[in-house]
Amino acid sequence: MEIIKVELSKLIIDENQPRKIFDEEQIKNLSLSIKKYGLLQPILVRQLEDKYKIIAGERRYRACKLANIKYVDVIIKENENITQIALIENIQRENLTPLEEANAILKLKNENNYTHEELSKILGKTRVYITNKLRILGIDDFTKKLLEHGDISEGHARALLAEKDISKRQKLAKKILSEGLSVRAVEKSVKKSDIISKDEDFDELIQMLEEKLGTKVSIQNNNQSGNIIIEYYSLDQLQDIVSNMIDNVI
């Protein structure tokens, strides 16, 4: 692996790289560090005639530019799997936002048909880590923007995903901002909402059965199982209920 020194002006940014948002304060701090100690880690590039496209290290490039550094150390990569290398380098080394990292992992997965298990080995992450990262891409645009801007955490986003009703999810997301809800509080709120939703479904079912059978009906629910209780107050009424049920089934 050869490290060479090139003019900073010959480096060009890869428009397809995962990182889209850069913290200007962090870039400024990095530039001060580079001014004082120099560039400690070379920038990974690919040569394109007289230019060099950045594979990994755009933050360092921006910091060097801010520090008015004229020449920088680079490592030139020549490989047919250059896109894959770029994605892996960015995921492993760069401080990506949760969504940037998730999109980079998804791109790596789709372009190479990797399973979650294969991705975990390539990136040095657990399979659960990979799965959780990819899950957050399924969130709605409103909540996604909150995550992208750092208004909510990745933990909040995953907890909100459990709320399937988008309007309820967005309402809860706004509550995180206004009340500073913890991830645990969001999880509890989603579970409570789910229970209420199920109760409402059962209320509709009970009403329908009572109208059909002409008597009081109750449902005892225990997650995936339970009992339906049909009340009767005389043998004649029981006979009518049974006849009604048979007629409706047949």
With contact defined as beta carbons under 8 Å apart, do 223 and 195 qualify? no
Locate 32 and state its tokens.
């001060």
Rounded Cα distance, 30 and 144, in Å: 28
Helix spans in the chain (H): 24-37, 58-66, 82-93, 98-112, 116-123, 127-135, 141-148, 154-161, 166-179, 183-213, 235-249
Residues near 137 by beta carbon (within 8 Å), at least 6 away in sequence: 99, 102, 103, 106
At 226, is the secondary structure helix, strand, or coil? strand
Distance between CA atoms of residues 60 and 39, nearest Å: 8
Which DSSP helix (H) or strand (E) runs through 3?
strand 3-7
Q: Residue 180 in 3-state DSSP?
A: coil
The Cα angle at residue 192 between residues 202 and 187, in degrees rounded to 5: 140
Report strand pairing: 225-230 vs 43-48. Answer: unpaired
Catalytically annotated residues: 58
Question: Contact at 8 Å (CB) between 197 and 204?
Answer: no
Q: Tell me the one-letter amino acid at 56.
A: A
